[in-house]
Chains A and B, each alone.
Chain A
Amino acid sequence: MSPAGCSHVNGYKVDNWKQNLRVIYQCFVWSGTAETRRRKAKSCICHMCGAHLNRLHSCLYCVFFGCFTKKHIHEHAKNKRHNLAIDLLYGGIYCFVCQDYIYDKDMEQIAKEEQRKAWKLLSVISVPSHLCFFMSTGIGEKYTTWEPTKRELELLRHNPKRRKITTNCTIGLRGLINLGNTCFMNCIVQALTHTPLLRDFFLSDRHKCEMQSNSCLVCEMSQLFQEFYSGHRSPHIPFRLLHLVWTHARHLAGYEQQDAHEFLIAALDVLHRHCKGDTTHDNGKKANNPNHCNCIIDQIFTGGLQSDVTCQVCHGVSTTIDPFWDISLDLPGSSTPFWPLSPGGDGSTVNGESHLSGSTTLTDCLRRFTRPEHLGSSAKIKCGGCHSYQESTKQLTMKKLPIVACFHLKRFEHSAKLRRKITTYVSFPLELDMTPFMASSKESRMNGQYQQTVDVLNNDNKYSLFAVVNHQGTLESGHYTSFIRQHKDQWFKCDDAIITKASIKDVLDSEGYLLFYHKQFLEYE
């Protein structure tokens, strides 16, 4: 059973053998089209006993099908001296002289290609290439085991050091030196390098750079991931990243303290713009449409926010859907009144947040965010139904949830009268269910189903917390730190260059400024 094949196939490899072999694969082993399947169904039975089971084999030299188990194909091989047969179940080539299955490189190549072809014809659902799960009702791209290329084998041989990931290992954790009030950048970098899908994207080298200069932020991000997962424990100095940020987001340049949230949005924006070369999903066609970009940033962070404006006179609804990367939530204590909230949508019971002596929860903020808001007589909207300016109500709901949802608690007030920081404690949960805030839930509420029954089987809207960015201090002088989650339940506090272990209680008791949640269950497109 040598991987180098056997010498007896040489007698077969003459004339048009490749084409003949392909035909056999297409017709009798991996039948892709309806026609070949019909033919296979009718003709693939043993010529001696008529059975279709018993490991049917086809002779490679003539049209003969025989059972392997009952040795019918063996008889044929002996009588006709046709010493090669193919297994119709798995496509393996059997040599009767060697009395074993043989592995001929050329034949294996043909087998692989034909299998792929047939598979493409059979598959109904396409799978985004960075996810390779199987659905239980259909089939996606056929799962094939990874086989290294020559180059990869070379690399593996030259780099024999292997890293073992145990539950206690700290790989992926690394401090970041503060280069002068750059903690706003450091905490976002910590959150991004611990975003699972983003990490997988960069560690599998998925970025193909199309920028000529050295100023691609995505390349720098890729480099950053390499640094974080290198195993080095000394803090990293992100001077190149800082320089690139100053180059591409001028409003963030300078040595004064900046807003971490602003940095997050600016960073996502630049990464999104520099990702143009990676949008080669859909059969190799590039997504040229900026509104339907399919880059990794959009795939992970972009959600859809639905805005419904209802005319108070004719009750006609005008709907728009806008993309978003984060949800900015007003807090009690700001100049805009927080309470009262709208009825319905029992969010806080779903999310099990603690209402410690009347403290506000994240769910409260979300309920307020998605409440119908009367726009007032000074802000009349032109109604398409009434053809005149009418008073209306506006309501925001989630149309499409992103894989990573970022909540921004608006703690920094920059109104005309004052500039201050709102330090109201807002409790947030480890697990969040966004169902009550979905556009679809709102529709059911409008149809009279007030109490939203929580569908335990619907996992689409369930999220887990994985990073928290906190701000200590005042508006004028403050400091950013972050908590990030590693390995399911371990949390670490990142304070620039210092990384310390943290408890879940530390995380949940913290003030919270930016909250990063990750979808628990990923699905197909």
Chain B
Amino acid sequence: MSKDSRMRATINQKLTEMGERERLKELLRAKLTECGWKDQMKAHCKEVIKEKGLEHVTVEDLVVEITPKGRALVPDSVKKELLQRIRAFLAQHAT
């Protein structure tokens, strides 16, 4: 594993252990709902389902279709805020 991914793994471990990961997830969920991202994604999903047909579409189809769009549509402000939270957390719990 590269140094980068090892650092990622360590940070992830710390976040999970302290329950911060769950809190951040919920914060992110709330922020993305507030700014309308969730509704945009929901609409896109509906389009994909219409295209592929309700009987044949799989979760995998949806994941493949909406992941790139979803990633691109996250507002910068949300990214900034979460980064800040993570930084603050790490600063607080630096070993």
Q: Which residues of A contact B (CB under 8 A)?
A: 1, 31, 34, 37-38, 40-42, 44-45, 50-53, 92, 99-101, 122, 134, 136, 138-139, 142
Contacts and interface: CB of A to CB of B under 8 A. Distances in A.
Given A41-B12, A41-B16, A50-B1, A101 B23 contact: no
Given A34-B19, A139-B27, 4 more contacts: A1-B59, A41-B16, A50-B5, A52-B12
A45 B9 contact: yes
A40 to B, nearest CB: 6
Interface in B19-49: 19, 22-23, 26-27, 30
B17 interface: yes
Contacts of B1: 50-51
Contacts of B58: 1, 99-101
A134 B17 CA distance: 23
Given A1-B57, A100-B60, A101-B59, A52 B9 contact: yes
Interface of B: 1, 5, 8-9, 12-14, 16-19, 22-23, 26-27, 30, 57-60
**Secondary structure call for the B interface:** helix
A51 B60 contact: no
A37 B23 contact: no
Given A1-B58, A50-B1, A134 B30 contact: yes
B26 A139 contact: yes
A51 B5 contact: yes
**Secondary structure call for the A interface:** loop
Contacts of A122: 19, 22-23
Nearest to B58: A100
A40 B22 CA distance: 12
B9 A37 contact: no
A136 B13 CA distance: 23
Most B-side CB within 10 Å, residue of A38, A101, A134: A134
A74 to B, nearest CB: 11
21 contacts: A1-B59, A34-B19, A41-B13, A41-B14, A41-B17, A44-B16, A45-B9, A50-B5, A51-B1, A52-B9, A52-B12, A99-B58, A101-B58, A122-B19, A122-B23, A134-B30, A136-B27, A136-B30, A138-B23, A139-B23, A139-B26
A100 B12 contact: no
A37 B27 contact: no
Contacts of B19: 34, 37, 122
B5 to A, nearest CB: 7
A38 B12 contact: no
Contacts of A40: 16
A150 B59 CA distance: 27
Contact of B59 (A50, A100, A139): A100
A181 to B, nearest CB: 51
Nearest to B54: A1
B17 A37 contact: yes
Nearest to B18: A37
Nearest to B81: A136
